[in-house]
Structure 1
């Protein structure tokens, strides 16, 4: 149950059990000095009961105490390795597992979730679970085991004094657990406020250029200020209310020591308890209360951590896109048969049927919002079709594992995503197993070898976050180099030449020509003149196929394609 609760691997669970054993060992190592102290006290108190102090024995107790100090150091060192080091390793594995889970989820999931929430899953929630593993559960289990053992010994030693010491314990736990639902509601509000403040901070930073350009700093900062103040309010509320329950439980618990003193003095005066036992119970009881207070504080933290655990559980429960990774595709024509698809309630693709021939260039054109990019994403199985069937060769796309399917597809997006790494590593993403010669050859075919070599460190130059040191054309050519290096039989080009100056567009067109040779190509374009030479043009309007054919044929029909083409040709003469 704990393995599932903490999302531990088998090794992580073994480490957890070892951490509990180590914590029990540490607790026992701390109890040993208390036993020695009791022996010392008993020796010192001998004159009060008619005996004499044995100083040689006291020196032997001192030697034992020195040995126990060394043993305590070794026990704590062992616990650190079994608890904290293991917890950090388990947290790293968990973050990687969450990243893998996110990578395998359909894009529809990301449409429903805010980036801040997913980042919180990956970082803050994993940190909370790590803290639970390293600081809470092992110590909690170890303390409970140790206290249970000490309690049994105290009951055997004197059950009436033990009852007095632990008499307030049930009421303390009743306060702590009786307020659990309220603590959870307050914790959930705190988490929601934390997410909102992170979301507003991210939005403010991402939109800082627009905010400065239009003088919106005061207006837009109001939302951020409100979110941060609410987060502060919820944080204070969490500490005040949850803390009050924990402190109340601890205060009531410590009344047990008062009760133990009262009972002990009463029995001591009546001759039913000797002085040594009374002192032993006071010393041991004080130590037990310290451990029990720690346990109660831990329960408050655990109740809050359970919110993160539930969020992680919800993420783990998200259905993955499944498929057969053993399917070998040999034919690469693409066929849509009465396909319909919608992101939410409204359908973006409606009853679309067409075939994209193998080894040919097919262009998808149409007005904005007609479903062009959606078709390409359905081919790549970023989403699954709602109705109908989409096939590559003779296999239904839904039968194929998404990652296996993408090994046959190279994609060049309009919005290029580059990583804060070297140019070399950004190109090699297309094929991580490629050597230097193949990377450079791909860069040359993509027309980017020249500007790369002019960089300070050439291919080993860091290009900044999302390639911020590069121009739009340079970033696009690196994206094409990736696709060339991948050498996939199907190529999807999503507005690859949009928003580029004529010089960059010419170079990118040359790079694209190298990329598409002998491949099944799907081109999405708004500039119709760039796809006039395509083997097939499919015209979409409001998610439906309204025309299909070559450029000359579509111009003769004088339909939507011809109208769009003429409008664009007329716009070429516009001037300011």
Structure 2
């Protein structure tokens, strides 16, 4: 893969478009030189009669006028072509990169998100993609095209008069050398500035996420300090970066501007010596003024490019994060689940070590135990949100590490305690369960999930937009929409994670009815704190500190007087507590 394509993370089409953009910029730059040629010819035509006493060649002036109009039209066409091949394709490629990054993030294991902040991922998708867009549209094509244009101009002018051409371009290597000396400083302070910006994004995200707590406990002053400090740090790093790099860039530009004076000095000396005519001298002075303008632009864009490379490098690191793989064509015919010698840890924190368990198909298996015992981890390992560190998990006799995660998801439905809804209609939120479902199928799932009554009461029924994360709905309503999704998907394996843990009795009863409809003839894994809700489960697995302590039916475990029996008694006693008891 070419270096530029790899560094910018461009698709093959994006790289082809970038080359076309460079070509378009070269054409635009060269056509922009044509008016100067016309102007020089006009001046020559006007001066000749003054020097020789001949009549003014008006026909030539008319021809030059036509040439000027033609060059203006040619430049307009070249600029339009340049715009299409730079800005338009840059926006399209930026969109493709964002979609590619979003798809890549979607397929990453959850272990990746333990290491990354939401604000950093948001920056990757938005700010970093915007940097690539800017590099493709404003920086790289202009820089490369300017270099090519300058080289072409240097060669052509050398044939015209090599001495004046050398005077025009000999100062350029010195300017480039000054910029090169600043590369280390640019990298150091550029990375510090980017790090400071990421810190600000994280602080803003945290402040907004916790705004309810900030207001409820009057923490505005305390919680603003960290945000204010991060903003001041970013400002300080920006000033240092701009100042340190700016000194070198300004110096390089000042040295480059000396080139115009050098052209004049050499030209005057050559005219005095009689080896250069005035029109050639005038030509070089005018062209040098035109040539140095894009060279100054290059010197200005160079540190900007290096700074943006910090962002693009971070994006490349993200896009190289390994995805979970597996067979996309796996077909499961039965749905029993087995853990065989499974060992798992979140980073360095061990959760399970060599555990074994079996979950029979077409039955309800409950996972219970104290908080932090590993109940939710088991459900997430079954869904392959993480891969185990040792041992294996089998579904229908097949190792899930050999099944493509998305293929595996086709066989599973989830109902979590923390429901995630989107700022969209009720209809579309339920359709997430199965994208190709008809409206009638969505309505049938909503009725089975006991959603019909509150949906019909909404202003636009199923077409009502429910706000960010369903903020216009109650907890019970959000939970029932989640169950409607699972009903619509109709997967053979259902995972229920604390689905009724935070609900009032009325909502709990309705949701229990909805769940009863959901789990018919399914392999069901239920995670519950309220032990009375799982007493009738076909199998109960009791966990504590990542170990399986007990297994069996509710009746059997109560009779054994172990941890399950102890937890059950504590919960029953707590039901008799009220605010008046003291």
The match for 1:11 among 10, 13, 24 is 13
| Residue of structure 1 in register with 2:377 after alignment | 374
What pairs with 1:144-293 in structure 2 (closer than 5 Å)?
A: 144-293=147-296
Secondary structure class of the residue paired with 2:114 = helix
Q: Which stretch has the larger CA shift, 427-436 or 214-223? A: 214-223
| Residue of structure 2 in register with 1:430 after alignment | 433
What pairs with 1:286-301 in structure 2 (closer than 5 Å)?
A: 286-301=289-304
Secondary structure class of the residue paired with 1:45 = helix
Contact map agreement 2:455 2:461 (CA 8 A) in 1: yes
Q: Which stretch has the larger CA shift, 84-93 or 207-216? A: 207-216
Where in structure 1 do 4 or more consecutive aligned residues deviate above 4 Å? none
Q: CA deviation at 1:171?
A: 0.9
Contact map agreement 2:172 2:256 (CA 8 A) in 1: yes
Contact map agreement 2:411 2:492 (CA 8 A) in 1: yes
Q: CA deviation at 1:89?
A: 0.4
Unaligned segments of structure 1, at least 5 residues: none
Matched length: 576
The 2-side partners of 1:316 and 1:205 are apart by: 28
The 2-side partners of 1:295 and 1:263 are apart by: 25
| Residue of structure 2 in register with 1:509 after alignment | 512
Q: CA deviation at 1:356?
A: 0.3
Confirm whether residue 462 of structure 1 aligns to residue 490 of structure 2. Answer: no
| Residue of structure 2 in register with 1:345 after alignment | 348
The 2-side partners of 1:48 and 1:541 are apart by: 104
TM-score (normalizing by structure 1) = 0.99
The match for 1:354 among 333, 353, 357 is 357
What pairs with 1:449-528 in structure 2 (closer than 5 Å)?
A: 449-528=452-531
The match for 1:546 among 546, 549, 554 is 549
Root mean square deviation of aligned Cα: 1.0
The match for 1:59 among 58, 62, 65 is 62
The 2-side partners of 1:252 and 1:51 are apart by: 42
Secondary structure class of the residue paired with 1:523 = strand
The 2-side partners of 1:345 and 1:90 are apart by: 39
The match for 1:418 among 403, 409, 421 is 421
Contact map agreement 1:121 1:312 (CA 8 A) in 2: yes
The match for 1:39 among 38, 41, 58 is 41
Contact map agreement 1:423 1:461 (CA 8 A) in 2: yes
| Residue of structure 2 in register with 1:530 after alignment | 533
Task: Spell out, residue by residue over 1:492-521, the C-alpha distance to the aligned partner (whole angstroms, 9 max, x if none).
Answer: 000000110000000000000000000000
What pairs with 1:80-91 in structure 2 (closer than 5 Å)?
A: 80-91=83-94
The 1-side partners of 2:428 and 2:53 are apart by: 82
Q: CA deviation at 1:45?
A: 2.3
Q: CA deviation at 1:21?
A: 1.5
Task: Spell out, residue by residue over 1:110-129, the C-alpha distance to the aligned partner (whole angstroms, 9 max, x if none).
Answer: 00011111100000000000
Contact map agreement 1:351 1:544 (CA 8 A) in 2: no
Unaligned segments of structure 2, at least 5 residues: none
Task: Spell out, residue by residue over 1:336-361, the C-alpha distance to the aligned partner (whole angstroms, 9 max, x if none).
Answer: 01111110212112221110000000
TM-score (normalizing by structure 2) = 0.98
